[in-house]
Amino acid sequence: MSRRSGKTEWSPFQNPFRIVNEPSPQAIEKIEWLDQLAKDESELDYNMKLLDILIEDQSRHGLRIHKGFPLFFLSLEAKDGSKRIEYMLDAFIEDVLTSGDGALDAPAAVGLKQLGVDVRTLIDLIQFVRRKTQFMLYPSNLREEFKDIHQVITETKGFSTVEDRVTLVKEVIEKSLRASFDQRRPRDEDELQNVVGGLLHQIDPRFSREREGPIKAGKRYEIDFTVFGDMIAIETKLVKSGMSFVDEIIADIPAYLDFAKASIFIVYDANNSIGNRKKVIDELTKPYNGKVEVIIV
């Protein structure tokens, strides 16, 4: 059983992937009939019909079937950029569900890299799928939830202004930082920064860590992170008790704004000890007209 007579002998139901469940005899009969009509079908129509057959078959029998093959080729044929990456992400998730880490060597991983998705994002997605399930009838639910949490890097390309990029960083940190620790507290500032760095990498793979900053009042500042070519300076604070972080932020702001166009201070409230967070944030940010943001999570 081949994909489109005369074009390739790679079957979606044989190697290179280990398939747990094969299509039913009825589905195979439909696919063979579809192959006979291949010359009258466009690539897009053929693979969409093949995908429909597989989805119908697995739904009928309650057994997952690997669907990476048609999804991969749907991505290649898609003219819309967002659909192209959605189909390729779905194909990659199918590969993860079928072969785990082996998905990194499969065609969908190569396709995603060509679309601008870096390897660390793919590894994060593998870990995400592992945590969520080892059995999934259709991958789009996982893809959409992953996008909601991690903001796939290709979605950042339309963000041009400083304000847009600050908003993007805020959304990713607010959605994902606390969830990344899976209901536990960071052990220390280094662990907090490691997780923040991983999230920032999804937004700007060329971000800098421990960036040498300006000298202000005789003090050399070292900035935890910068993104978008030093456009935004980011500082993290792990707060276990007290409000001393407020004075620290007030002292840091002038130097950070001398260095970057905007600053974001990420405060991890480990013990939920910060009262009236909105008041604290307003007092720190309002004087700077959007150039300073404080995120308390």
Please tell me whether residues 140 and 167 are part of one structural domain. Answer: no
Rounded distance between C-alpha atoms, residue 268 and residue 189, angstroms: 10
Please tell me whether residues 64 and 180 are part of one structural domain. Answer: no
Please tell me whether residues 221 and 201 are part of one structural domain. Answer: yes
Query: Residue 11: its pLDDT value, please?
Result: 43
**Residue written as token pair 């994060």:** 124
Rounded distance between C-alpha atoms, residue 154 and residue 270, angstroms: 32
Q: Is residue 166 part of a domain?
A: yes
Instruction: Using DSSP, state whether 132 is helix, strand or coil.
Output: helix
**β strands within the chain, DSSP E:** 208-216, 219-227, 232-239, 262-269, 292-296
Please tell me whether residues 239 and 289 are part of one structural domain. Answer: yes
**CATH number of the domain that 274 lies in?**
3.40.1350
Task: Please indicate, yes or no, whether the overall pTM of this predicted structure exceeds 0.85.
Answer: no
Q: Is residue 269 part of a domain?
A: yes
Q: Which of 202, 195, 201, 161 is nearest to 180 (CA)?
A: 195
91: Cα within 13 Å, side-chain hemisphere: 27
Please tell me whether residues 82 and 175 are part of one structural domain. Answer: no
Q: How do 232-239 and 262-269 pair as beta strands? A: parallel
Please tell me whether residues 133 and 232 are part of one structural domain. Answer: no
Please tell me whether residues 102 and 194 are part of one structural domain. Answer: no
Query: Residue 32: its pLDDT value, please?
Result: 86
Query: Residue 8: its pLDDT value, please?
Result: 34
Q: Which residues pair with 262 in a beta bridge?
A: 232
Q: Are 133 and 84 in contact (CB under 8 A)?
A: no
Alpha carbon separation from 291 to 47, 201, 209, 210, 255 (Å, rounded) = 49, 22, 20, 21, 13
Can you give the pLDDT of all 297 residues of the chain as single tens digits?
Answer: 334 433 333 344 333 334 457 888 888 888 888 888 766 667 778 889 999 999 888 877 777 888 998 998 898 888 888 888 999 999 999 998 888 888 998 888 988 988 888 898 999 999 888 877 644 455 666 666 666 555 544 444 444 578 888 888 898 898 888 888 876 788 888 889 988 988 888 777 778 888 888 888 788 889 999 988 889 999 999 998 888 899 999 999 999 999 999 999 999 998 888 989 999 999 999 999 889 999 999
Please tell me whether residues 72 and 172 are part of one structural domain. Answer: no
Helices (H) and strands (E) in the chain, counts: 11, 5
Please tell me whether residues 147 and 205 are part of one structural domain. Answer: no
What are the structure tokens assigned to 289, written together?
A: 């007209």
Choose one of 93, 123, 153: the last residue of a domain. Answer: 153
114 lies in which domain range? 25-153
Domains: count for the chain = 2
Q: Is residue 216 part of a domain?
A: yes
Query: Residue 3: its pLDDT value, please?
Result: 42
Query: Residue 149: its pLDDT value, please?
Result: 53
Q: Is residue 9 part of a domain?
A: no
Rounded distance between C-alpha atoms, residue 282 and residue 279, angstroms: 5
Q: Are 292 and 281 in contact (CB under 8 A)?
A: no
Query: Residue 1: its pLDDT value, please?
Result: 35
Rounded distance between C-alpha atoms, residue 28 and residue 293, angstroms: 57
Choose one of 121, 153, 185: the last residue of a domain. Answer: 153
Q: Is residue 182 part of a domain?
A: yes
Q: Is residue 222 part of a domain?
A: yes
Q: Is residue 17 part of a domain?
A: no
Please tell me whether residues 143 and 170 are part of one structural domain. Answer: no
Q: Is residue 18 part of a domain?
A: no
Please tell me whether residues 178 and 147 are part of one structural domain. Answer: no
Q: Which of 227, 223, 229, 195 is nearest to 211 (CA)?
A: 223
Q: Which residues pair with 219 in a beta bridge?
A: 216
**Dihedral angle of Cα 221, 227, 230, 234, to the nearest 10 degrees:** -30
Query: Residue 293: its pLDDT value, please?
Result: 96
Please tell me whether residues 258 and 221 are part of one structural domain. Answer: yes
Judging by beta carbons within 10 Å of its beta carbon (0-12, 13-18, 19+), is residue 278 exposed, middle or buried? exposed
